[in-house]
Structure 1
Amino acid sequence: MITSSLPIERISKKSPEFNPSVKEFNIPPLQRVESFSPESYEDFINEWAISCARPKYRDVYRIGGSGDNGRDVIGEYDDGTIDYYQCKRYGKKLMPSMFWIELGKLCYYTYNKDIPVPKNYYIVAVHDLGPSLVKLMGNKDLMKKSLLKEWDNKCKTKLIEGQNIGLTPELLEHINDLDFKIIGTHSMQKIIEEHRQTDYFYFRFGGYMKPKRGSLISPPEDPEANELLYINQLLNAYSDNKKSNITMGNLSDEPTFYEDFRDNRRNFYSAESLRRTIREIFNDEDHFNLLKSEMHTGICDFIKTSFVDGYDRLIKTMHESTKVNLSVSPVDRELNFVTNQDKKGLCHHLVNDEKMNWVV
């Protein structure tokens, strides 16, 4: 949320922000939005823009906070043009007196070439717009005249702390040339209903429609490039046990190792399918990385102990991995996606990351 010198009316905490471990599903979504912290509110709008405007934008990212220049969320089109979303979290409908400073920032920062002029500039308020601001949205010429009239009172000393931004002839010309038709809004109820169709909704508001895990990926017949590191370590483990060189070429001559190899490839792809599901739900791999980190913490001391050979380390570590608690992530704690096969597969992903080896 952008910082300004305007007094911000704090919303009373009618209910705590949603914690999926506390099953409070009877609180209306709008009331839940009212309880969001400024950061969570911006995250909520970012989630909505990512999921519901995905066909519209090439990328969506949140930059809210100090120095955002009036842009909490940015949507970028394929041609490089952009939309700005300014998130306003007041305890009542947004009135013009609360809006002038944000509009002033758009005008000043585009005039100063700190930010490019957007294709669209959206004000997204928890309680939508009050009647006076709705009227101005329908009459952009009146909005421009009103901004110029209110500049000295609402913008001049409030855009940048410690600076006076007066209406110089050049700035005035820029504002007059700026097409105020780019300024719009989205109703909060519409945003909530569109957000309801996304996987994010469960984590923000609760409910019983949990996201579903994607299909399990079967290993391709020929190993792919992203398998080379962990496969090489598997072969090293077999060679260390056999005291002879085991390669892909002669692996089938060793039935025990061959079956173990096939099992471990299935484990790797089980974890890979989990990674892709996480990316689809959360739009990033942060939770998969969290699972890997937690797995590494859980087994790093174990793999330092003594073993007969690399194959012994592999077999015993696979078993040990199934005991590691991964409930630090909602992927395991809430969605119950993580299987023992995934846990074993996470070990191979850690080998790929060069965090551990079977043969030292």
Structure 2
Amino acid sequence: MIVTTFNLMQINKMEPLDDKSIFQSVIPPLQRVKEFSDEGFEEFIAEWAVACAKTKYKDVYRIGGAGDKGRDVIAEYENGEFDYYQCKKYSSQLQPSQYWLEFGKLCYFVYNKDIPMPKKYYIIASHDLSKKMRSLLDNKEDIRSGLIREWENKCSKHLIENKTINLTSEFLTFIQNFNFNIIDTYSMNTIIEEHRHTHYFYFRFGGNIKPKRNIIIEPPTDIENSERKYLKKILEAYSENKNEDINFKSINKFSDLLKDFSSRRQEYYSAESLKRCIRDIFSNENEFEVLKTEMFSGISDFVQFDFKDGFDKLKKTMHEATRVNLSISRVDNDLHFVGNTDKKGICHHLANQDSINWRTRNE
């Protein structure tokens, strides 16, 4: 079982978002959804659930492969309750005959206490529901009676591999009392229209409305605790250059260093504003991690060269950083958000996590 988390802290890179053809041809979103792979369709629904219901859910997970227990996407509320989204990627509208097994999974795995009872259970079909399937959802008692009628043929031998699940009297009673009112659906048009108002839409379906970089963070007057580590490393570089210990107070007597120090903080906060913008667009910071990883790869050999002192190493590495190609990230390649000041700032973020330092002398 593969679990992908789509919460405010972590969303993995998704297959259709890397499909460059969306920027080369105009295809109606509804048609493009129908062309998604099974996995891509589930990822799209998980992404929609996060982007359109940030205030509703605490976390959203996509569960792929065997063992999903009838839950392709799980959305968790702050109070610990869940909604389930079961995705069906077929070439035509979803029919009741194709879904009895999923109803069976819901009832059996809740009955067996393998999964908690959901608050809501949504059927999401790429080609929407047939008239018969919609009628079934409008008459929940028909789901109950139909599931009992179809259990032996559609469910008993297909719920768990190499195992038969019989409709025992206890389990039958459970189904007879099951609350099928939790079952609902969203049309694909509704999902697409809600998705259209998110930053994700551009990457899924193309178009000419790109997300904008609209967050600017200026360095605060007082140094924040979060930036002390990279700044101490810069002070060590200055100390090597001046052959004396330079700290946050004594730097004030060096006008040249004070100007450089201010520029380095500007660089750090430029990258910080980029990170915040990425988080606002993608609901996570994964793309910033991509930028950091690529930047480290680009300068890791360079920082091993010989330098006169730490300040020399710092300045030359900053110049080298502006030459590093970061187009592996869509933030740079598609949105063109990354400037030279950001590239330098990313180096300070790497220093802040102890990936690099500016010392050239052993202590």
Normalised TM-score (structure 2): 0.93
Residues in 2 aligned to 1:282 and 1:63: alpha-carbon distance in whole angstroms: 20
Q: Which amino acid aligns with 1:349?
A: H
CA drift of 1:61 comes to 2.0
How many pairs were matched up? 347
CA drift of 1:23 comes to 2.5
Give the corresponding residue for 2:13. Answer: none
CA drift of 1:312 comes to 0.3
Give the corresponding residue for 1:138. Answer: 138
Give the corresponding residue for 1:176. Answer: 176
Which aligned pairs between 1:120-199 and structure 2 lie closer than 5 A? Answer: 120-199=120-199
8 Å contact kept, 1:20–1:334: no
Q: Once the two structures are aligned, what percentage of the paired residues are identical?
A: 54
Give the corresponding residue for 1:10. Answer: none
Give the corresponding residue for 1:317. Answer: 317
CA drift of 1:281 comes to 1.3
8 Å contact kept, 2:22–2:205: no
Residues in 2 aligned to 1:64 and 1:191: alpha-carbon distance in whole angstroms: 21
Which aligned pairs between 1:78-93 and structure 2 lie closer than 5 A? Answer: 78-93=78-93
8 Å contact kept, 2:22–2:206: no
Establish whether residue 271 from structure 1 lines up as the match of residue 271 from structure 2.
yes
Residues in 2 aligned to 1:145 and 1:23: alpha-carbon distance in whole angstroms: 48
Residues in 2 aligned to 1:66 and 1:242: alpha-carbon distance in whole angstroms: 63
Residues in 1 aligned to 2:113 and 2:119: alpha-carbon distance in whole angstroms: 15
8 Å contact kept, 1:83–1:120: yes
Establish whether residue 342 from structure 1 lines up as the match of residue 347 from structure 2.
no
Give the corresponding residue for 1:225. Answer: 225
Give the corresponding residue for 1:246. Answer: 246
Residues in 2 aligned to 1:35 and 1:353: alpha-carbon distance in whole angstroms: 41
Establish whether residue 356 from structure 1 lines up as the match of residue 356 from structure 2.
yes
Q: Deviation digits for residues 248-307 of structure 1, max 9, x if unmatched?
A: 111111011101010000100111111111111112211111100000000000000000
Residues in 2 aligned to 1:163 and 1:298: alpha-carbon distance in whole angstroms: 54
Give the corresponding residue for 1:35. Answer: 35
8 Å contact kept, 1:17–1:36: no
Give the corresponding residue for 1:6. Answer: none
Establish whether residue 117 from structure 1 lines up as the match of residue 110 from structure 2.
no
Normalised TM-score (structure 1): 0.94
Establish whether residue 74 from structure 1 lines up as the match of residue 79 from structure 2.
no
Give the corresponding residue for 2:26. Answer: 26
CA drift of 1:25 comes to 4.1
Residues in 1 aligned to 2:67 and 2:318: alpha-carbon distance in whole angstroms: 48
Residues in 2 aligned to 1:68 and 1:19: alpha-carbon distance in whole angstroms: 27
8 Å contact kept, 1:17–1:32: no
Measured at CA, do residues 36 and 17 of structure 1 come closer, stay the same or move farther in structure 2, by a change above 3 Å?
farther
CA drift of 1:24 comes to 2.9
Q: Which amino acid aligns with 1:86?
A: Q
Structure 2 residues not aligned, in runs of 5+? 3-15
8 Å contact kept, 1:46–1:60: yes
